């Protein structure tokens, strides 16, 4: 048996760091949104072994890869099922080290796909518990196309997706380590009058102009100091009439949001002229059915 499906990227429309936790992580509030940039994943049953093949030379195929770890988690959780193994083939389109959650989405896809391939019978809530063991962003990709994330990001509240809007993603082909960004974080300087409640209200109203005006990421000033090109990308997007522009997660991708499709297409064409940028025109995802076969889902 073989399964082929897509896994999406995400952006953080808001990211507010509330404080540091005893376990070394940070408490945060974030507004996650899936967008229509996808990797393609193929899963095939084989005996016992976990194999990963990828067309991107920088993707590791060992246990440092979240996909491999996701497969081993499920394998170890069902020792009574003999011969559980899989070959995973990943076609990588989401840039690595961009803050777009490509690796986390891949891992979530493995959990969902192997649940079907290996006939494990797990509901989404159970899969999300496995996902939380893999990384803070992984549960989101099993939850909903739009969600409020709290705690480390793993405590999720699904949100009703607003009307679709268009998102330009720009990756400057340089990355910054997430650990480096958080080490430089000064919590005394992250207090901001903007907050997740305001952002969530405009989001629920599909008020894209006001949503754009209230985008906020506490990590962005740190990343701009490390990678000044982030500021140049934002200025470019605003000059092309984006409703808002922001660093996604800990970077280094920047996104611009557009209510108008024609404006987004024109801005995309202009951004593609810039050398050294990898640019994508996407739209928001409003339902899993836009990229996931129905037989892999146990929720509407």
The closest of 251, 3, 250 to 109, measured between CA atoms, is 3
d(CA 198, CA 177): 30
Residues 6+ apart with CB under 8 A from 265: 281
A 10 A CB-CB count for 294 gives 8
3-state helix, strand, coil in the chain (%, to 5): 35, 30, 40
Residues 6+ apart with CB under 8 A from 97: 175, 176, 252
Query: Which residues are the active-site residues?
Result: 10, 137
Q: Diameter of the chain by CA atoms?
A: 59
């Amino acid at each position: 048996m073989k399964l082929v499906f897509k896994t999406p990227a995400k952006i953080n429309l808001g990211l507010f760091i509330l404080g540091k936790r005893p376990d070394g992580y940070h408490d945060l509030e974030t507004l996650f949104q899936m967008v229509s940039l996808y990797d393609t994943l193929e899963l095939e049953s084989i005996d016992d072994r976990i194999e990963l093949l990828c067309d991107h030379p920088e993707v590791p195929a060992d246990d440092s890869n979240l996909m491999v770890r996701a497969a081993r988690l499920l394998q170890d959780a069902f020792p009574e099922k003999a011969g559980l193994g899989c070959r995973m083939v990943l076609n990588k389109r989401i840039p690595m080290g961009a803050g777009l959650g490509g690796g986390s989405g891949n891992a979530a896809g493995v959990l969902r796909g192997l649940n079907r391939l290996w006939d494990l019978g797990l509901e989404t809530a159970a899969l999300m518990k496995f996902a939380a063991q893999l990384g803070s962003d992984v549960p989101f990709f099993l939850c909903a196309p739009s969600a409020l994330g709290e705690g480390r990001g793993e405590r999720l509240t699904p949100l009703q997706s607003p009307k679709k809007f268009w998102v330009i993603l720009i990756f400057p082909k340089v990355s910054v380590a997430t650990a480096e960004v958080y080490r430089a974080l000064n919590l005394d300087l992250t207090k901001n009058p903007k907050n997740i409640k305001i952002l969530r209200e405009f989001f629920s109203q599909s008020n894209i102009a006001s949503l754009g005006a209230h985008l906020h990421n506490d990590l962005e000033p740190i990343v701009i100091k490390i990678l000044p090109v982030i500021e140049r990308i934002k200025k470019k997007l605003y000059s092309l009439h984006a409703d808002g522009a922001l660093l996604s997660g800990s970077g280094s991708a920047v996104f611009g949001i557009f209510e108008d499709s024609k404006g987004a297409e024109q801005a995309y064409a202009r951004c593609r002229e810039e050398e050294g940028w990898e640019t994508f025109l996407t739209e928001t995802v409003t339902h899993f059915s836009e990229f996931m076969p129905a037989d892999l889902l146990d929720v509407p």
